[in-house]
Amino acid sequence: MAKPVHSMVRVFDEAKSLDFYARAFGLEVADHLKFPDFALIYLRHPSSPFEVELTINFDRNEPYSLGDGYGHLAVVVDDVDAEHSRFERENLSPGPLRDFKHDGRTLARFFFVADPDGYKIEVIQRGALRLIAFNKRSMEDTHERSRSSKQV
């Protein structure tokens, strides 16, 4: 079974991007590989093996056009209201807090923020119903795999 390991974004200004991801999400440089024409910087949070790969092309003279195909990355936080306030204090320009509802029930409480290159990142309240359902399915799948491996 495949396991997600990283998502890559091309960035124009390495210093601005590193500052943003560190201040916004606590991502730290896990690896920095420099080649003659480009660099790859892998960022990771201590709580997760998943990485954000920043690609810097040295010959780039202007910011990237994101086009209409990119969606967003998402992170979960324990207190979305406190994080929104922190982003405002850090001048990270968060979007408005939103409640995503379906049939009158809140599925998620979140806001979006854009990195220096315009990539959108969704900041979601931990424990949102959709996340609870995903985690429950994941735990049930793990339990089922564990049971079937013991029956062999």
> Considering the domain boundaries, does residue 111 fall inside one?
yes
For residue 5, what are the CA distances in angstroms to 48, 52, 142? 10, 9, 19
> Considering the domain boundaries, does residue 151 fall inside one?
no
Within this chain, do residues 55 and 106 fall inside the same structural domain, yes or no?
no
Query: How many folded domains does the chain comprise?
Result: 2
The range of the structural domain enclosing residue 79 comes to 71-146
Picking from 62, 83, 113, the residue at the C-terminal end of a domain is: 62
Within this chain, do residues 28 and 81 fall inside the same structural domain, yes or no?
no
Within this chain, do residues 78 and 140 fall inside the same structural domain, yes or no?
yes
Picking from 62, 79, 108, the residue at the C-terminal end of a domain is: 62
Cβ proximity of 7 and 71 under 8 Å: no
Within this chain, do residues 35 and 97 fall inside the same structural domain, yes or no?
no
| Distance (Å, whole) CA 88 – CA 76 | 18
Within this chain, do residues 58 and 75 fall inside the same structural domain, yes or no?
no
Query: Any idea what the CATH number is for the domain that residue 49 is in?
Result: 3.10.180.10
Give the count of beta carbons closer than 10 Å to the beta carbon of residue 85. 13
Would you write out the chain's pLDDT as a tens digit for each of its 152 residues?
Answer: 557 789 999 999 999 999 999 999 999 999 999 999 999 999 999 999 999 999 999 999 999 998 876 778 899 999 999 999 999 999 999 999 999 888 888 888 999 999 999 999 999 998 765 555 555 554 555 444 444 444 44
Within this chain, do residues 46 and 75 fall inside the same structural domain, yes or no?
no
> Considering the domain boundaries, does residue 152 fall inside one?
no
Give the count of beta carbons closer than 10 Å to the beta carbon of residue 62. 6
In the annotation, is 140 catalytic?
Answer: no
Q: How much is the pLDDT for 145?
A: 46
Tally the residues of the chain: 152
Picking from 44, 62, 80, the residue at the C-terminal end of a domain is: 62
Within this chain, do residues 55 and 84 fall inside the same structural domain, yes or no?
no
Check 53, 90, 122, 140 and give the catalytic one.
122
